[in-house]
């Protein structure tokens, strides 16, 4: 089948199960052994996968599904439909999964007329119990249908249970205001390819000016926004930004931040908002500036810009440097 062909839908024989569903894991028999960190890495599905990957049903946010690995290594997909800025945790759970099952977990989407795409938004191999998979935080910026794929390296013919839990954003029912001084806990994720390409283009423009852009997400289940103070504290707590801890910051609106960027990097300004579905009116920027000399004619300038996107639950750290040549 071609990339644009619809994926074959096949309902799992085990079927869908509710948020508290799933059969409890059976007590290991005399022939069963519990293994950890002994199986091979479960790679992402080879592409194109629309000719063989079966969708076993829908995975509801706040619920779970169960299925069976069969007797050979394979993959199985579940449709996850979310509102914009939904945050979930995905896990192949110890409860309801057979002993010795080794999984990988991959998330694609959102679905377009060309399918779900072939670059995983999120993936994990063994972060869960034993050799099971867990993605503690997956932030979905765009509303739509996503594909959660479970893969396994050992076809033991055993049940597995996949759970999707709401941890923040649009899926939280009746959110409450954030308690005073609620900290922001950052999780690092790879930068999107379009943003990295703009950084690379800017870095190729002049040898004496260079920039870096890093992405962090934070789970936020509250009705009120995270504070810029809390976001800045979380960034400066990381060792890679420790050199700015004693500097006096400035605060900017996102519109004013444009003039603080070197000209060759300014295309990032709108691209960041577009990528994460954020309004410029919501975004805030905290800036730290350092100037120092490494010797004769060796002046250096470094600026750390902490960009809080409170609705989409992202913190972008944009560091730009310049030196005399």
pLDDT tens figures, 148-183: 999 998 878 999 999 999 999 999 999 999 999 999
Fold of the CATH domain 187-323: Protein Transport Mog1p; Chain A (3.40.1000)
Residues of CATH 2.60.120.380 domain(s) within the chain?
A: 16-167
Pairing relationship of beta strands 86-92 and 209-217 according to DSSP bridges = unpaired
Residue 73 or residue 174, greater confidence: 174
Residue 90 or residue 72, greater confidence: 90
What does CATH list as the number for 16-167?
A: 2.60.120.380
DSSP character string of 267-303: HHHHHHHHHHT--TTT-EEEEEEEEEESSTT-EEEEE
Per-residue pLDDT, 295: 65
Helical segments of the chain, H only: 193-203, 228-236, 254-257, 267-276
Residue 275 or residue 208, greater confidence: 275
Per-residue pLDDT, 315: 98
Residues of CATH 3.40.1000 domain(s) within the chain?
A: 187-323
Find the mean pLDDT for residues 18-26.
Answer: 38
Pairing relationship of beta strands 284-293 and 54-58 according to DSSP bridges = unpaired
Burial of 106 (0-12, 13-18, 19+ CB in 10 A): buried
Per-residue pLDDT, 297: 64
Lowest mean per-residue pLDDT among 65-74, 182-191, 258-267? 65-74
């Amino acid at each position: 089948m071609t990339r644009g062909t619809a994926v074959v839908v096949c309902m799992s024989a085990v079927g869908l199960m509710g948020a508290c569903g799933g059969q409890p894991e059976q007590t290991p028999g005399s022939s069963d052994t519990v293994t950890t960190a002994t199986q091979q890495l479960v790679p992402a599905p080879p592409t194109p996968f629309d000719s063989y990957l079966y969708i076993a049903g829908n995975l509801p946010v706040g619920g779970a599904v169960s299925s069976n690995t069969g007797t050979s290594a394979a993959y199985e997909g579940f449709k996850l439909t979310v509102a914009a800025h939904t945050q979930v945790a995905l896990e192949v759970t110890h409860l309801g999964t057979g002993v010795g099952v080794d999984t990988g977990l991959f998330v694609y989407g959102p679905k377009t007329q060309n399918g779900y795409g072939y670059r995983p938004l999120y993936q994990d191999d063994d972060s869960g119990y034993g050799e099971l998979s867990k993605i503690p935080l997956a932030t979905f910026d765009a509303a739509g249908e996503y594909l959660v794929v479970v893969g396994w390296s050992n076809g033991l013919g055993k049940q597995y249970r996949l759970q999707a839990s709401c941890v923040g954003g649009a899926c939280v029912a009746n959110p409450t205001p954030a308690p005073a001084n609620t900290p922001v806990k950052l999780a690092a994720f790879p930068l999107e390819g379009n943003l990295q390409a703009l950084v690379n283009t800017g870095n190729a423009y002049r040898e004496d000016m260079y920039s870096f852009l890093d992405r962090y997400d934070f789970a936020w289940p509250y009705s009120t926004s995270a504070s810029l103070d809390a976001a800045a504290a979380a960034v400066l707590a990381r060792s890679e930004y420790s050199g700015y801890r004693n500097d006096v910051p400035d605060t900017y609106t996102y519109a004013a931040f444009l003039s603080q960027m070197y000209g060759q990097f300014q295309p990032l300004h709108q691209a960041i908002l577009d990528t994460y579905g954020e309004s410029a009116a919501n975004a805030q920027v905290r800036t730290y500036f350092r100037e120092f000399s490494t010797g004769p004619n060796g002046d250096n300038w470094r600026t750390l810009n902490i960009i809080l996107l409170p609705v989409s639950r992202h913190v972008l750290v944009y560091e730009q440097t310049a030196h005399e040549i």
